[in-house]
Structure 1
Amino acid sequence: MIWRNIMKDVKTVGIIGFGVMGAAIGLNAAANGYRVVYKELNDDLVKSMYDKFVLKALGKRVQQGKMTQADMDKICGAIKGTTTYKELAACDLIIEAAIEKMDLKIKIFGELSDACPNDTIIVSNTSTFLIEKLMEKVANPGRTAGLHYFFPANVNRLVEVIRQKNTSDDTYNALMTFSRQNKKVPITVKDFPGFAINPIFISSYLVLNSFFGDKYNGATLESISQEALGVKYGIMWVQNGSGLGTAYHAGCSMVEYLAKSDIGFPPVPEQLKKMFEGNKLWDLEGPVLQDKADRSVVIDGLLGSIFSISTHLVENGVVSVKDLELGVCTALAWPKGPFTLMNQMGMNEVAKRVKKAVDAGYFKMPKKFASGDLKPWDL
């Protein structure tokens, strides 16, 4: 069957899964004038999630003077919960934010396809799974895409709009418009494992974690990442915030997708696995190694990894230089994106660090550096 997609005027948004991420997405939409209907598994969850993530969260903002009672009442009135797919049929856009289990997500999308009109836009907020695979049971795949928010979704401004091969122009344009009207910064990304930003961040912490040991403690690696990237909060701190279980599983997923590809990917270090299995966080207190030579070894490995994967992403048409630069600075709060870092370092020096990353087995050699092309990036 040939489906015709017409650009939707999104007014009502459905959310599948109203946990931390789904609730933040819903609050962001409601605060920007959209009606929101969220689905949970049972009536108890519908009530408890609303009480926790809507009433309590907004009530705290009112108490702190960050929101008026009138604004809270308006947002609360725009959000309602349900236990059935039937009540999502009136939604113009449905965002899946369930737990990261592929079989569950595929089942959800099949049920949504059966319950909703054929022009309802259906998207996933998955962090790593390929959108085309998730949507295999959806009729009219032109109305499907990825809409990847970053934690916390009501604060972090970046959204990756992921076009799988079937995504129509009208669906893509509607999602870009929706993102902007939610005061987000959308970037365009091709369907690819982890999309654009996660491959950079995940490979960064896998490389950094691999140095953890007697010489490099958590505080030292945090300090080194702060120095290398010019950030206030380093990579070790961010991992602790997201949880080492999340970091470990995301790393395993990316390795499974890319390690044996023509791109490659750093292995998951045993150090991260042990911390996760021990239910620990990185200890960021303690003495910080100051020896410049020892710190440079880690900085070179970290930057070589970032430069390699960033180049691969552009060469594979996953994302443009401009959007990747914007995305990294927005989502990760790095003051400089990977291509600015490369241009400022000088491409001869960059090539040395890329070679070190390749020699270490982190990545395959990007075509740009394999050909000896040392022209600066066009920003």
Structure 2
Amino acid sequence: MIYQGNAVTVARDSDDIATLTFDAREKSVNALSSATVKELGEAVAALQKQNGLEGLVLASAKGVFIVGADITEFPALFEKGEDYLVEMNLNIHEIFNAIEDFPFPTVAAINGLALGGGLEVTLAADFRVMADTAKIGLPETRLGIVPGWGGCVRLPRIIGADNAIEWIAGGTQNSAEDALKMGAVDAVVPGSELADAARTLIKRAAAGELDTQARRAEKAGPLKLNASEQMLAFETAKGYVAGKAGPHYPAPMEAVRVIQKGAGETRERAQRIEAEAFARLALTDVAFNLVGLFMNDQAVKKKAGGYAKQADKIEQAAVLGAGIMGGGIAYQSASKGTPIVMKDIQADAVELGLKEARKLFNKQVERKKLTAAQMAERLSYIRPTLSYGDFGDVDLVVEAVVENPKVKGAVLAEVEAEVSDDTMLASNTSTISITRLAENLKRPEQLCGMHFFNPVHRMPLVEVIRGEKTSDAAVAATVAYAQAMGKTPIVVNDCPGFLVNRVLFPYFGGFSLLVEQGVDFARIDKVMEKFGWPMGPAYLLDVVGMDTAVHALHVMAEGFPERMARDSKTAIEVMYDHDRLGQKNAKGFYAYEEDRKGKPQKVSDDAVPGLLEPAVKGQAERSDEEIIARMMVPLCMETVRCLEDGIVDSPAEADMALIYGIGFPPFRGGALRYIDALGVAEFVKLADSLADELGPLYAPTDRLRRMADSNARFYDAAE
């Protein structure tokens, strides 16, 4: 044994080939934590003292190669400042450069995911061989930073600047097939043949069949592009990347600039350019929030995993109510491998549900995500029916009928009598109390809410709602099924609107008050889209549907009359009264026309300002900052109340629900991180100034005032 650490070992075999193995003890995956990087440096130093080595293989004993740096360390590292981060990266460059400069050939054997720093360490090797199921990529721009350990330097010199920009700016994970096509790896083999393939490359290089020195010279020198070629490549890339990334995400554009600045430099100078760019970006609010978002996501998934471990696998599911929603649920279940019965009382509805599922599967085939044979197999997992005859072996039933408490209650009682005593029931409701729906059930403890967001196949969030009598077993089963469907479940407690809609409708309340004061709805949309929302509130209401919104408004007003009840009609209700339902009937705040692909595109409608006159009571001038404050404060305040009321357990779950459920701007981190960024005391001051004019929807809670007085935060600085 040449070196033995807790995460890195180096052994030499009888052929004088050394293998450096990443295998973090008591961890399910390998990550390049500070401790692991330290051990890697020690292992490299030990290898430099060896004589007569024929080569080195970099390998992993885990199911992945290395998933990247240990992101949980980032907040504490970033707090140490720009100079520290530059020096830290340069020290890591020295380790990777030493691997690249060994007096013998090196091969990385990539058996699974190699992401971020995990890919960067393989780029320091002379050759790379990859298992056919593995994936590689540099996702750092998704965290608001650029690759800092050689990705911006070595990858362009290996696969070309244009390809490297696409990988780095996009932050994509890339298949073995694509990696081989690009030249990022030298061979792709079945996982069982990986070790032999790596040793074969070592022996061929040692025998002179492969030119190791030429490889190294290419990586250590300037990019082989003349001035005009550089100008064409980088300026074209900047326009494309800027359009894709948008103004709120600076890292992709900075990555292009780093590659461009380093293109004419040698290895060490280009690495310093990269290290300095990484350090600058690491100290931005965007990086702080995106790293926090990653950590929140991990915490949410870990908590869901804890619930799921308590449940048996859902072998057979069912959905009651076909149509678009039922078809979307059936598709999602079948696409992830869980058979599902789809029942309705009308044959037309069942056919509509099947049509929706077929349409979604066809899109997967068109995108070459599935073959026609795979589509046929997964479609067979959906069993349409008009009766309960197939419900005897169902483990969990999702009720997805019309959003009416009487209808839902009757359907749930009916299905309860048709299934086994162990079958769990889940209601796909966006507003109706789970406690209320359970009142007429014989086994109320087996009912849980399971709120899907539309469209089901795209929206990652599922709210799992615990009613007063819902058992832990029902929650665990519903969470397990949501995870099996590829969704991110967040468990919340029962209340009007649950978490996401309870928070969303104060946001719509802020919108209605602005329209009432004479602010143009289209201007509000533009301001909030510039702020970072994927669509403004009027456009979002058109997508949700005015009938759905009005129903939810009444539920919210009944549940929270002191904050959400209104004496006069809102702009939303006025639109509904004029049968302007939004996209579903092609007229709402905007009109809708189909594009060439059949998708609705919004266009302005000159009739709308006149229709809205009954809801307008003034003509106040509002700045962009005032519009943002009047929209964001009620949303953030209701998020605070949900946390204080125990509707949601943690700031991480609250923020992730808003990001995944309603598109809260990810680079802002969520409502509670947004308050932290403003400062709790400043937020309370702002809310008080608005509450004086606009009422209790804007008023801070007593607990939030105490937080302001004590300089408390929702997140620790290191989170």
In the other structure, the counterpart of 2:235 is none
Amino acid in the other structure paired with 2:571: Q
The question of whether the paired residues in 2 share the 8 Å contact of 1:38 and 1:81 is answered with yes
Cα deviation 1:202-222 (Å, max 9, x = unaligned) = 221121132126842222010
For residues 67 and 274 of structure 1, the distance between their equivalents in structure 2, rounded to whole angstroms, comes to: 45
Q: CA deviation at 1:370?
A: 4.6
Shift of 1:128: 0.4
Contact 1:16–1:98 (8 Å) recurs in 2: yes
Of the candidates 359, 378, 385, which is equivalent to residue 82 of structure 1? 385
Instruction: Give the CA deviation at 1:19.
Output: 1.9
C-alpha contact (below 8 Å) 1:305/1:362 kept by paired residues: no
Three-state SS of the structure 2 residue aligned to 1:138 is coil
Contact 1:307 1:350 in 2 (8 A): no
SS in structure 1 of the partner of residue 345 of structure 2? coil
Paired with 2:389 and 2:506, the residues of 1 have a C-alpha distance of: 41
SS in 2 for 1:115: coil
Confirm whether residue 270 of structure 1 aligns to residue 577 of structure 2. no
Q: Find the aligned partners of 1:293 and 1:37 in 2 and give their Cα distance.
A: 53
* Offset of residue 200 of structure 1: 1.3
Conserved? CA contact 2:449–2:465, under 8 Å: yes
Task: Name 1:25's counterpart in structure 2.
Answer: 329
Deviation of 1:12 (Å): 0.8
Aligned partner of 2:493 in structure 1 is 190
TM-score (norm 1): 0.89
Corresponding residue of 1:151: 454
Matched, 1:238 2:536: no
Q: Does 1:119 align with 2:422?
A: yes
Equivalent residue of 1:376, what SS? coil
Structure 1: distance between partners of 2:499 and 2:641: 10
Q: CA deviation at 1:292?
A: 9.4
- CA distance 1:232–1:59, change in 2 (3 Å): closer
Paired AA for residue 167 in structure 1 = T
Q: Which range moves more in the overlay, 98-107 or 266-275?
A: 266-275
CA distance in 1, matches of 2:421, 2:504: 36
Alpha-carbon spacing, 1:45–1:188, altered in 2? closer, same or farther (3 Å): closer
Per the alignment, residue 651 of structure 2 pairs with: 321
Q: For residue 703 of structure 2, what is the aligned residue in structure 1?
A: 368
CA distance in 1, matches of 2:506, 2:517: 22
Post-superposition Cα deviations, 1:312-346, rounded to whole Å, max 9, x if no partner, equal 10110000211001111112222120011001111
2:695 aligned partner, one-letter code: G
Following the alignment from structure 2 to structure 1, what is the Cα–Cα distance between the partners of residues 415 and 453?
24
Counterpart among 630, 635, 651 of residue 306 in structure 1: 635
The CA distance in 2 between the partners of 1:366 and 1:214, in whole Å, is 26
**Percentage of matched positions with identical amino acids:** 24
- 1:282 is aligned to 2:552: no
Q: Is the 8 A contact 2:426 2:478 kept in 1?
A: no
Superposed CA RMSD: 2.4
Report what 1:3 is aligned to.
Answer: none
Tell me what 1:205 maps to: 508
Question: Which residue pairs with 2:396 in the alignment?
Answer: 93
Q: What is the CA–CA distance in structure 1 between the aligned matches of 2:526 and 2:318, rounded to whole Å?
A: 42
Aligned-pair CA distance for 1:36: 0.6
**In 2, are the aligned partners of 1:62 and 1:69 still within 8 Å (CA)?**
yes
Q: Distance in 2 between matches of 1:214 and 1:117?
A: 56
Cα distance per residue 1:290-320 (max 9 Å; x no partner): x995223322221220121011101100002
User: Which amino acid is 2:555 matched to?
Assistant: S
**What are structure 2's unaligned runs of at least 5 residues?**
1-309, 581-587, 591-602, 606-619
- The one-letter amino acid of 1:76's match is L
Alignment of 1:207-226 (within 5 A): 207-212=510-515, 215-226=518-529
Instruction: Give, in whole Å, the separation in 2 of the partners of 1:223 and 1:108.
Output: 43
Amino acid at match of 2:589: W
Normalised by the length of structure 2, the TM-score is 0.48
Runs (5+) with no aligned partner, structure 1: 1-5
Q: Number of matched residues? A: 366
The answer to whether the 8 A contact 1:224-1:295 is kept is: yes
Per the alignment, do residues 352 and 346 of structure 1 end up closer, same or farther by CA in structure 2, a change over 3 Å counting?
same
- In 1, Cα distance between the equivalents of 2:642 and 2:573? 27
Provide Cα deviations, 1:227-247, integer angstroms capped at 9, x if missing partner.
44x223222222111222222
- The separation in 2 between residues aligned to 1:357 and 1:118, in whole angstroms, is 53
Conservation of the 8 A alpha-carbon contact between 1:86 and 1:116: no
Highest RCO, 1 vs 2 (Cα 8 Å, sep ≥ 6): 1
Rounded Cα–Cα distance in structure 2 between residues aligned with 1:60 and 1:314? 39
Structure 2 CA distance, aligned partners of 1:33 and 1:212? 47
Report the AA paired with residue 241 of structure 1.
Answer: V
Q: Name the residue aligned to 1:256.
A: 558
User: Does the Cα contact within 8 Å between 1:244 and 1:276 map onto a contact in 2?
Assistant: yes
Distance 2:347 2:545 in 1: 29
Change (3 A) 1:273 1:121: same
Structure 1 distance, partners of 2:686, 2:325, is 36
Instruction: Report the AA paired with residue 45 of structure 1.
Output: A
- Matched-pair contact (CA < 8 Å) for 1:190–1:317: yes
- Equivalent residue, structure 2, for 1:46: 350
Contact 1:325 1:337 in 2 (8 A): yes
CA distance 1:244–1:234, shift in 2 (3 Å)? same
Native 8 Å contact 1:301 1:353 kept in 2: no
